[in-house]
Amino acid sequence: MAEFEFTTPIEIRFSDLDAYGHVNNALFFTYLETARIKLFQQHFGAFLDSELMFLVVRAECDYLLPIELNDPLQISICTDQVRRSSFDFSYRMYDGAGKVFAAAKTVMVCYDPKIKKPAAIPPEIKAVFLQQ
């Protein structure tokens, strides 16, 4: 059950294409990273200056359809589960009109580099993810 949703357009560049004329599958993870950065910049800009980091500890992607140069691309990110120091993001890569290119998931951990251990997710971030 999704708690929070964020959607952003992603620009496809000609250099993203492989020899088959579609976006190389490795770039799907770069697109997911771009969407995550946009999410954090838009919702947690002040937090980005803190000592804590969010690390991807697991990533998976189901490739459903190839993405071509002229395809409009949007990525929606939802939180599926929010725990003390980690949360799951699920992603949908689509064209905005029903065509789904991929479904993906990352497990994110809030990490304190000073103590080199996971840390509790700040309450202001947790509140947004849980829509409180």
| Domains defined for the chain, CATH in brackets | 5-129 (3.10.129.10)
- Looking at residue 77, its pLDDT comes to 96
Average pLDDT over residues 73-88: 95
Which amino acid, 29? F
The pLDDT tens digits for 12-70 are 999 999 999 999 999 999 999 999 999 999 988 776 667 889 999 999 999 999 999 99
Which three-class secondary structure string do you get for 22-83?
EECCCHHHHHHHHHHHHHHHHHCCHHHHCCCEEEEEEEEEEECCCCECCCCEEEEEEEEEEC
Q: With cut-offs at 50, 70 and 90, classify the pLDDT of residue 99.
A: very high
Q: With cut-offs at 50, 70 and 90, classify the pLDDT of residue 1.
A: very low
Mean pLDDT of the chain: 92
Between CA 64 and CA 105 the distance in angstroms is 14
- Looking at residue 83, its pLDDT comes to 95
- Looking at residue 34, its pLDDT comes to 97
Average pLDDT over residues 111-125: 92
Question: Among 9-13, 105-109, 126-130, where is mean pLDDT lowest?
Answer: 126-130
pTM: 0.90
Between CA 113 and CA 81 the distance in angstroms is 23
